[in-house]
Structure 1
């Protein structure tokens, strides 16, 4: 029985993306690798919707977030972190470990940012940077990023706006240059339909110029070093790259761009709608209000008297793999991802399996 994988990363791969990883290894200081990096730059700029370079590191989404704070801020600088879930909390902790002074503006899990409270906070202090989690994977909330950025920019034009787009890029609208985002971070294994193993970091001109004035607190995540090697001829990375995963990302980005970004956004919204209609037909509901519900992952409330872990285990016995809740939601929800290479048929299989599980309890 083939498993249906519906966790929020790693996500299922298109067959041709998997096949692309079996190519031969190449010299990572040679012209063939330089051409691969150049192709990736061209495609990633289109997906991030930016004219700026996108730096590719072997790593994860968490690593990409650490890269941002390691290069853009110095110890003691004032940072504002908007938190309404476990992954936003993680980013705040990363910043705190870098000895930044982090103010956490906390919102309830399952609720979006309150822009009125954000306005009060930004007016209260001058912040060097704001950390924004676009799509909170732990709760299934898509935060009002464009509106928040516009508000912050109007009140504090010099504040660097840093965005965790790990579970949104490719699956939800995000327009880096048009929205005035200073740093956007993501990873390969979610809506980009690629294997885990790549951290992707894009810096706007203002953020990059600030990075040039600082000494990164990390050698591994040093943007200046990455930029220096990217601008060599042929293009390179500072240290050994994950060549097989770069092959996969190259093919996956071609598929995404052939589909078209807006079509991909629409497909993710439609899958989310289809899933939630099926859940509600069974008498189940989701954690956030529909208007702020994520197009890439859904947090499903568990009916009273039922256990998320038992539902998850029962689904697994039927070949359907979902994710558990996180943090304070551990015993309240389970999570279903519908990002990347997930089909409507996958959702039908999940809904049928869930119906059997619910009826058997």
Structure 2
């Protein structure tokens, strides 16, 4: 996409990295990205509350050319002077969230970006294999899957509300499907600063949930598959 955008110099290339940034490989210079944004609660592993936005030279120049715009607090041009000189004042930021983000960035740097991307891929592939071994199906075809989130279709006989309610009682919260997939699938995030214990505990909780719902499957196959892939 970035290569195509170069043929249209007036076009700003904006990437929604909400479920990807800090978990998937995104090289803004190599890809020709002008604006990349995400939320703190996704792969950065921080609580909800911050918009994290990167803007390149082209985007900054475009913003300047617009002059006064209706936006106020979220106008990144207003924050640039503060970023250059923190002694200046524009508005009160969510200071506690920024300190939390600072710790997350420390963890990311400690792990290393490339190692972090590889870990997300390994964990994603292991979780997906474990779920398929238990009888679930993945919504997206292999090769087109995100390494930070899985969209999982229920096997025949599993009720969405019963499954998610029982799983929550086992200590794992997942989101339901949306629009045409409401009631047919659940969404499982495996992004951020999670460790192996979290991954194993999640698959174990799903196995216990299937057992409580009297679903017929090879008990232990999920954890067995996970151990082989992790």
Q: Name the TM-score class by shorter chain.
A: 0.7 to 0.9
Q: What is the aligned-residue RMSD (CA, Å)?
A: 1.6
Relative to the length of structure 1, the TM-score reads: 0.56
Separation in 2, partners of 1:222, 1:254: 27
Aligned to 1:276: 128
Question: 1:333 and 1:291, CA in 2 relative to 1: closer, same or farther beyond 3 A?
Answer: same
Separation in 2, partners of 1:312, 1:345: 21
Aligned to 2:103: 251
Unaligned runs of 5+ in 1: 1-147
Equivalent residues in 2 for 1:231-310, closer than 5 Å: 231-232=84-85, 234=86, 236=88, 238-310=90-162
- Aligned match for 1:192, one of 44, 59, 66: 44
Per-residue Cα deviation, 1:150-176 (whole angstroms, up to 9, x for no partner): 2x3254343111011111111000011
Question: 1:174 and 1:291, CA in 2 relative to 1: closer, same or farther beyond 3 A?
Answer: same
Residue 181 of structure 1 pairs with residue 181 of structure 2: no
Q: CA deviation at 1:229?
A: 2.5
Separation in 2, partners of 1:169, 1:163: 10
Give the stretch that moved more between structures: 305-314 or 288-297. 305-314
- The structure with higher relative contact order (CA 8 Å, sep 6+) is 1
Aligned to 2:81: 228
Equivalent residues in 2 for 1:1-361, closer than 5 Å: 148-150=1-3, 152-214=4-66, 215-232=68-85, 234=86, 236=88, 238-359=90-211, 360-361=214-215
Unaligned runs of 5+ in 2: 216-230
Per-residue Cα deviation, 1:298-325 (whole angstroms, up to 9, x for no partner): 0111112322222111101111111111
Structure richer in strand, relative to its length = 1
Runs ≥4 residues deviating over 3 A: 234-237
**Number of residue pairs aligned between Structure 1 and Structure 2:** 212
Give the stretch that moved more between structures: 318-327 or 287-296. 318-327
Question: 1:154 and 1:250, CA in 2 relative to 1: closer, same or farther beyond 3 A?
Answer: closer
Separation in 2, partners of 1:235, 1:256: 27
Question: 1:236 and 1:338, CA in 2 relative to 1: closer, same or farther beyond 3 A?
Answer: farther
Relative to the length of structure 2, the TM-score reads: 0.86
Contact 1:226 1:237 in 2 (8 A): no
Question: 1:235 and 1:296, CA in 2 relative to 1: closer, same or farther beyond 3 A?
Answer: farther
